[in-house]
Structure 1
Amino acid sequence: MIRIDFNQGWLFSKAGDTLQTAVTLPHDAMIHENRSPDSPGGSANAYFPGGRYIYEKTFTTLAEWQDKTLILEFEGVYRNSSIYLNDRKIGGRNYGYIPFHVDLTDHLNPGATNTLRVEVDNSQLPNSRWYSGSGIYRPVSLLIGGRTHIQPEGVRITTLSLEPAVIRVETEVTGGEVIAEIYDGQYKVASGQGNAVVLKIENASLWSAENPHCYTCRVMVSEQGDVVDEATVSFGIRTISWSPAGLQINGKETKLRGACVHHDNGLLGAVSYPASEERRVRILRQAGYNALRISHNPASRSLLEACDRLGLYVIDETWDMWYIHKNKHDYATDFMAGYQDDIRSLVARDYNHPSVIMYSIGNEVTEPYEARGVELTRSMVDLFHQLDSTRAVTGGINLMII
């Protein structure tokens, strides 16, 4: 599907307030609040209050959208979001750090004006052990494809071998004939047909932190000879293996010199801008780091893309809590209902990023002290491996607190 920036032309207000302010996404509502020593979020949240917020965007259904599939992608909304189109609820997500999609296709007013409304509820504090931000703090994109189309995150590229370099391109598509092309810069180096095509890449340059070489995969879907949808994905050719002897990237022993980083960008608040994410990665790379552990929630797309380009290994983490609360109003309330969908969304988003070498199922969680927690651990690891057999799964388990 074609990705279109959908970050312009939004109006923002606090719930119950008639005053609307024009904003461009991403937008952190919390950092514009007035701090107070009485804020229930306390020092962990920099004494900012929470709140309930409303974002609205009005747009017209274009003629060229007829017979198209239109899907909105939210990269992150903190938290408890509800998405409405023309006053009809069409989606939302409770967890504030995970991307999600909302299908607009059957809810648009043809050839007329539409109003998109996003309601965000971060009013219940404390719910985090660090500055969380509030609102639509990561970008929003409009994905456009044909009625026959490639599903969002529907292209998966797996390195099968290195010598010779062989990859598999799998495409989740609603119909049609699939053609996959591989480019190294502007040069096409391989192509093939089919929903699961195996391709050999001659003289391949392997991806690693020392040599972060990326290729581009272009997938096209055609019906009766006409291209009806396409998707372009960046990826790297690399393998991951692990054993009692250690971690190997492309068969070579690799030591991680890493740092833990939270999602905020300092004075900018929680917003994720490509330039600010790349700045962090560049500074860490120049300081001699080769790895990041994302603390303690999934990274932004822009951060992963910067790690792909500049060469940092990533351990992408899921949650800071499971079903036992660390804060009175944190995600533990919704965890059991949402954790499987969170895992699926994380793997779908991360799969083609060569920088991501490992998933973490949590940080300093205490649940494994009991049988229920042990079984939950096993089920989460199994689900990760079912969805992605190429990466290791770890967890920040502190035995001193169990």
Structure 2
Amino acid sequence: MKFIKYIAFLIIVLVFSNSTNKIIAQTNLAEPTLKILDVCGIEVPFQNNKPLPTFEMQNRSRYNLAGEWRRQRVPRPWPDEATSAATFILRDQAGISLIESKSDNRFKLDYDDSNWETRNIPFPDNNFNEYPVRPDFYQDLVWYRKSFVVNDPSIANLTVRLNFLSVNYMADVWVNGVWVGYHEGGYTPFSFDITQFLNTGGNNVIAVRVDNPAWGTTKYSIPNIPSDWYNYTGIIHDVYLEFVNPVSIVRSDITPLDINGEIKTKIVFQNMKLTSANISVSVQVFDLNCDEANIGKEDIWNMLGQESVLIGQKEFSSYMDFGSVCAFETDLKIMNPRLWTHKNPNLYVMKVTLYDGSIITDEYYTQFGIRTVKTVGSKFLFNDRLMYLPGVARHEDHPDYGRSLPREQILADMKIVKSLNAKLLRTAHYPNHYYTYLIADRLGISTKEEIPVFWFNDSESWRIQNEVRQIHKQMFREMVYKDYNRPSVIIWSLSNECKDITGRLAFNEMMTKDHADNYEDGRLITQSAAADSPGASDPTIAPLDLASWTIYFGIFYGKNGAYYGPSFNFLRDAKAAFPNKPILCTEYGYWSSEDGSTADKQGTVFSDMMNVFKIFALTNVDGSENKAFGSLMSAVWWTVFDWYRMDNPGGFQSMGLYSMQRAAKPIANSLSATYLPYYNQDGILVGIEKEDESIPLEYDLEQNFPNPFNPTTNINYNLPKGGLVKIEVFDILGNKIRTLINSYQDPGFHKIEFKGDDLSSGIYFYVLSINGKSFTKKMMLLK
């Protein structure tokens, strides 16, 4: 029956390939491997049925699996037209068995891989050519195998995690011939608990099946269309084993609440012993000692400076059953905090110490900073200061490494970004290596991080993800949890230049609610819409914090060469359409051409666009507030470096300020000089007298009036930030009587009427919920 089931599945896929109006049943598709569960009343991310660990380096034993692996490209075991079946088949027992049956035993422990080629990992499987000839277009199936020996008695009783920081696109993993799990998506990390599968006294083999379907062959992948960067195949970033005490700290997520040092911390623990544990926890905060000599180091436990005075609940104790997970949430205050800013990126280290009884079983360290971002009407506030952020973008690409840039190259790239006087870096259309953001923290570079939902221009692409697969939702969650503690990350982005409105709006509403309900971290959420589609009045912007567009008038649309006028008109119309949202230009730019023949035009576009941006920037060049037209919080030049792309027959895209080999073009100096006055600004401290009087400074649910009432009363509430608003009424027993509103609302002062005609006299409660916050008031109906 299982064989018949999958024959039917393949037939369905073949039908789908000829008719995009049908979606295969959800039960036949690989499911997301990350979910959020309630643990002790706290939302905790789980991946592969285990709490999602941090990927920030810890002071624990590690076995680096980088180096020589065996690899083999193989023909896809299904027909080309059934690509979706090969890649996205449901990983139940029947699906796993089918994949293994088509593998020619490549996953088995005793498989002979001696005739396979070798490849140093991490590195793309694409074969590289001499620059500027791009690598080969390998988008298909490749197998990897790594043989290694673990022979250390000290780790015999430890929990073992197998961590991958990036594999593109679908990875199935076997350890010593046993399938341990899979992950979909080429830009975010994942982890498996392989304790029961690893031989800690001898030989081991890891086998990885990487299936990277060619862009444009299936609508199930993300991206699903030939896109504006390179689709590298393989094990792209680090892979390693981490050995952890069975009673350990999984992660600690820190949210700065204000610039006065108030932080919210969620700490997750696990007990993987076969017995219970009586745990106790202590929390400390230290300055991070970071200078030019150690700026690239990751062993932050060796970079601790002075301990901070910490107010609040710093200790916690609990009984844990064997095999259980526990979470602890506390509000703390760092006295006399040093803020994270672009000029002075002050950083801290949180140290969490875990005891099982009187024995220390784990110590956990994470880098973080005190900085806030928020919007008040059309104003963007960084640490409560009105600020304009000159911006650039960077693709994770290099002619020698592809996306597998070594850390020293990432650091060098980020120093170039800093030299351009940019305050905001958009890390292209996908999450970059976590080290990128660690270094951005230390250099003082704000970042905007995005998931690769790219050019979803048709309703079917959105319907598959919104209603069936929700891999885009998983990608967003994995991105957030990867860089949760990075003060440099100030904006999360949901998509780029997707034309379909209905599906995009549904996704924006879905994710702003998910973020507010489950992992509100104080950051802003936006997208990168295209300025020409549907235009300045794009309805999908309503649920988002920022109104964001890529702007290419006179280049990709509109009259050729007409940059200034149409761009000015667009920003004017955008300001009118969204008067209570700051505007972000997520892209502008032009190419120099591969032979440099249009370098002058690159300069012209930059000059014309900057003349427009100066009119709308939140602050003027002299640092004063732009009270006339100020609404633009940043404009991002696309990009710092040239990059390889799939749809350019010439090989690479030349829009960079630098070549792929990191040689500066003339435009680099012009941009750096123009950005300098904005970089030197410290922002304008915004007090109450500076605020838009139509926008409140804090959330407030007011007492209903009149009270007591019969049968009608009014409820006023104030929103400093827009979001999904829910107001519900409950009786004294906690039964929900009515939902008064459940929809997105802009910031401002709001009022809603409540009628109790059909209710009996008594006490009722009304509850306002928004952006992860909840407020309750009591009212009396007296008939």
Q: State the TM bucket, normalised to the shorter chain.
A: 0.7 to 0.9
Residue 25 of structure 1, CA deviation:
3.0
Q: Superposed, which structure 2 residues align to 1:326-337 within 5 Å?
A: 336-337=469-470
Of residues 256, 262, 272, the one that matches 1:159 is: 256
| 1:186 equivalent in alignment to 2:305 | yes
- For residues 313-335 of structure 1, what are the alpha-carbon distances to aligned partners after superposition, in whole Å with 9 as ceiling and x for unaligned? 11100123376579x9xx97998
- For residues 155-211 of structure 1, what are the alpha-carbon distances to aligned partners after superposition, in whole Å with 9 as ceiling and x for unaligned? 111223323x23233211125222112111422224621333433323321101121
Once residues 278 and 349 of structure 1 are traced to their aligned partners in structure 2, the CA distance between those partners, rounded to angstroms, is: 19
Q: 1:56 — aligned with what? A: 145
Q: 1:309 to 1:325 in 2, by over 3 A?
A: farther
Q: Is the 8 A contact 1:323 1:332 kept in 2?
A: no
Instruction: Report the residue type matching 1:318 in the other structure.
Output: I
Q: Superposed, which structure 2 residues align to 1:275-314 within 5 Å?
A: 275-314=408-447
- For residues 325-379 of structure 1, what are the alpha-carbon distances to aligned partners after superposition, in whole Å with 9 as ceiling and x for unaligned? 79x9xx97998341222222111111100000010001011232xx344222210
Q: 1:394 — aligned with what? A: 526
Instruction: Report the residue type matching 1:193 in the other structure.
Output: E
- For residues 43-67 of structure 1, what are the alpha-carbon distances to aligned partners after superposition, in whole Å with 9 as ceiling and x for unaligned? 9976533343222222334322233
Greater share of strand: 1
Q: 2:84 — aligned with what? A: none
Q: 2:168 — aligned with what? A: 78
Instruction: Report the residue type matching 2:315 in the other structure.
Output: Q
Q: 1:32 to 1:363 in 2, by over 3 A?
A: same
TM-score, scaled relative to structure 1: 0.87
Once residues 468 and 413 of structure 2 are traced to their aligned partners in structure 1, the CA distance between those partners, rounded to angstroms, is: 30
Q: 1:381 — aligned with what? A: 512
- For residues 221-280 of structure 1, what are the alpha-carbon distances to aligned partners after superposition, in whole Å with 9 as ceiling and x for unaligned? 110111112221111111111122422111111212111221212332121321111111
Once residues 165 and 122 of structure 2 are traced to their aligned partners in structure 1, the CA distance between those partners, rounded to angstroms, is: 10
Once residues 21 and 240 of structure 1 are traced to their aligned partners in structure 2, the CA distance between those partners, rounded to angstroms, is: 50
Q: 2:198 — aligned with what? A: 108
| 1:262 equivalent in alignment to 2:412 | no
Once residues 522 and 515 of structure 2 are traced to their aligned partners in structure 1, the CA distance between those partners, rounded to angstroms, is: 10
Q: 1:39 — aligned with what? A: none
Q: Is the 8 A contact 1:44 1:131 kept in 2?
A: no
Residue 143 of structure 1, CA deviation:
2.6
Residue 388 of structure 1, CA deviation:
2.2
Once residues 430 and 467 of structure 2 are traced to their aligned partners in structure 1, the CA distance between those partners, rounded to angstroms, is: 15
Instruction: Report the residue type matching 1:29 in the other structure.
Output: D
Q: 1:40 — aligned with what? A: none
SS in 1 for 2:477: helix
Instruction: Report the residue type matching 1:218 in the other structure.
Output: K
Residue 212 of structure 1, CA deviation:
1.0
Once residues 64 and 324 of structure 1 are traced to their aligned partners in structure 2, the CA distance between those partners, rounded to angstroms, is: 54
Instruction: Report the residue type matching 2:139 in the other structure.
Output: G
SS in 2 for 1:306: helix
Of residues 70, 78, 97, the one that matches 1:12 is: 70
**Larger mean Cα displacement after TM superposition, 229-238 or 194-203:** 194-203
Once residues 221 and 257 of structure 1 are traced to their aligned partners in structure 2, the CA distance between those partners, rounded to angstroms, is: 43
Q: 1:294 to 1:70 in 2, by over 3 A?
A: same
Q: Is the 8 A contact 2:257 2:263 kept in 1?
A: yes
Q: 1:227 to 1:10 in 2, by over 3 A?
A: farther
Q: Is the 8 A contact 2:437 2:486 kept in 1?
A: yes
Of residues 128, 135, 148, the one that matches 2:247 is: 148
Q: Is the 8 A contact 2:252 2:265 kept in 1?
A: yes
Once residues 69 and 324 of structure 1 are traced to their aligned partners in structure 2, the CA distance between those partners, rounded to angstroms, is: 45
Once residues 252 and 373 of structure 1 are traced to their aligned partners in structure 2, the CA distance between those partners, rounded to angstroms, is: 32
TM-score, scaled relative to structure 2: 0.46
SS in 2 for 1:271: coil
Residue 307 of structure 1, CA deviation:
0.6
Q: 1:9 to 1:274 in 2, by over 3 A?
A: closer
Q: 2:125 — aligned with what? A: 29
Residue 121 of structure 1, CA deviation:
1.9
Residue 123 of structure 1, CA deviation:
5.3
Q: 1:98 — aligned with what? A: 188
Instruction: Report the residue type matching 2:60 in the other structure.
Output: I
Instruction: Report the residue type matching 1:12 in the other structure.
Output: R
Of residues 130, 135, 155, the one that matches 2:234 is: 135
Q: 1:58 to 1:190 in 2, by over 3 A?
A: farther
- For residues 106-149 of structure 1, what are the alpha-carbon distances to aligned partners after superposition, in whole Å with 9 as ceiling and x for unaligned? 22235232211122122535554311322111112323222122
Once residues 467 and 506 of structure 2 are traced to their aligned partners in structure 1, the CA distance between those partners, rounded to angstroms, is: 18
Q: Is the 8 A contact 2:70 2:146 kept in 1?
A: no
SS in 2 for 1:295: coil
Choose 1 or 2 for highest CA Rg: 2
Q: 1:284 to 1:229 in 2, by over 3 A?
A: same
SS in 2 for 1:106: coil
Q: Superposed, which structure 2 residues align to 1:164-175 within 5 Å?
A: 165-174=261-270
Once residues 31 and 128 of structure 1 are traced to their aligned partners in structure 2, the CA distance between those partners, rounded to angstroms, is: 20
Once residues 325 and 33 of structure 1 are traced to their aligned partners in structure 2, the CA distance between those partners, rounded to angstroms, is: 35
SS in 2 for 1:321: coil
**Larger mean Cα displacement after TM superposition, 236-245 or 109-118:** 109-118
| 1:233 equivalent in alignment to 2:363 | no
Q: 1:325 to 1:276 in 2, by over 3 A?
A: farther
- For residues 54-81 of structure 1, what are the alpha-carbon distances to aligned partners after superposition, in whole Å with 9 as ceiling and x for unaligned? 2222233432223321112211111111
Once residues 397 and 385 of structure 1 are traced to their aligned partners in structure 2, the CA distance between those partners, rounded to angstroms, is: 22
Instruction: Report the residue type matching 1:401 in the other structure.
Output: S
Percent of aligned pairs with the same amino acid: 23
Instruction: Report the residue type matching 2:198 in the other structure.
Output: L
Once residues 160 and 245 of structure 2 are traced to their aligned partners in structure 1, the CA distance between those partners, rounded to angstroms, is: 9
Gaps of 5+ in 1: 36-42
Q: Is the 8 A contact 1:221 1:230 kept in 2?
A: yes
SS in 1 for 2:257: strand
Q: 1:59 to 1:135 in 2, by over 3 A?
A: same
Once residues 140 and 355 of structure 1 are traced to their aligned partners in structure 2, the CA distance between those partners, rounded to angstroms, is: 25
Q: 1:84 to 1:322 in 2, by over 3 A?
A: farther
Q: Is the 8 A contact 1:4 1:142 kept in 2?
A: yes
Structure with higher RCO (Cα < 8 A, 6+ apart): 1
SS in 1 for 2:469: helix
Q: Is the 8 A contact 2:254 2:265 kept in 1?
A: yes
Residue 23 of structure 1, CA deviation:
4.2
Q: Is the 8 A contact 1:46 1:131 kept in 2?
A: no
Once residues 431 and 122 of structure 2 are traced to their aligned partners in structure 1, the CA distance between those partners, rounded to angstroms, is: 17
Q: Is the 8 A contact 2:128 2:135 kept in 1?
A: no
Q: Is the 8 A contact 1:161 1:167 kept in 2?
A: yes
